């Protein structure tokens, strides 16, 4: 009989404690959070220039080569912007044989997405085509805010 009363006491105690825990979680889950958007005080402006040789471009006419050089110089300028924003990944290797440097090589790559850049100027420089790009981070911030409104907690009120 005492064993049954003890078991019943343990069961009732655990039910009582689990009920309190559920009540406490319920009370703390009732809250109101106020958010506010923060905008930086200043924004950097990046500039990049890309070059491409006109004569090395594929094409049957001078006009097609000019257009291809224009496109290639624009891509080179975008690459330079991506390097400024994201940095450049450098991978290298060296090997030594008989205490002499046998092979030394490295690779550079960049990977990223550039949004909001604008073409400032395109022109020829001798036998090259050049494209100047400008990336204003205030514009990038507005573009980002239109898709992902980043906010910080302003105030939390618990009920």
Quick check: 85 pLDDT over 90? yes
Mean local confidence (pLDDT), 117-146: 93
Write out the chain in H/E/C secondary structure.
Answer: CHHHHHHHHHHHHHHHHHHHHHHHHHHHHCEEEEEEECCCCCCCEEEEEEEEECCCCCCCCHHHHHHHHHHHHHHHHHHHHHHHHHCCEEEEEEEEECCEEEEEEEEEECCCCCCCCEEEEEEEECCEEEEEEEEEHHHHHHHHHHHCCCEEEEEEEEC
pLDDT-wise least confident of 41-45, 59-63, 154-158: 154-158
What is the pLDDT at residue 7?
A: 61
What is the pLDDT at residue 130?
A: 97
Quick check: 12 pLDDT over 70? no
What is the pLDDT at residue 119?
A: 97
More confident residue, 10 or 113: 113
Mean local confidence (pLDDT), 124-133: 96
The tens digit of pLDDT for each residue in 20-29 reads 555 555 555 6
What is the pLDDT at residue 145?
A: 79
Mean pLDDT of the chain: 84
């Amino acid at each position: 009989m005492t064993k049954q009363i003890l078991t019943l006491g343990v069961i009732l105690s655990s039910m009582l404690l689990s009920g309190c825990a559920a009540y406490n979680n319920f009370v703390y889950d009732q809250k109101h959070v106020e958010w506010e958007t923060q905008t930086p005080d200043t924004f950097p402006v990046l500039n990049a220039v890309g070059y491409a040789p006109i004569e090395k471009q594929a094409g049957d006419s001078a006009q097609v080569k000019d257009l291809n050089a224009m496109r290639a110089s624009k891509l080179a300028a975008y690459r330079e912007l991506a390097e400024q924003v994201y940095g450049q990944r450098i991978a290298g290797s060296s090997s030594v044989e008989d205490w002499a440097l046998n092979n030394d090589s490295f690779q550079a790559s960049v990977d990223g997405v550039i949004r909001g850049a604008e073409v400032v100027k395109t022109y020829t420089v001798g036998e090259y085509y050049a494209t100047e790009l400008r990336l204003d981070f205030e514009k990038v911030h507005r573009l980002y805010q239109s898709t992902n409104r980043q906010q910080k907690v302003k105030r939390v009120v618990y009920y």
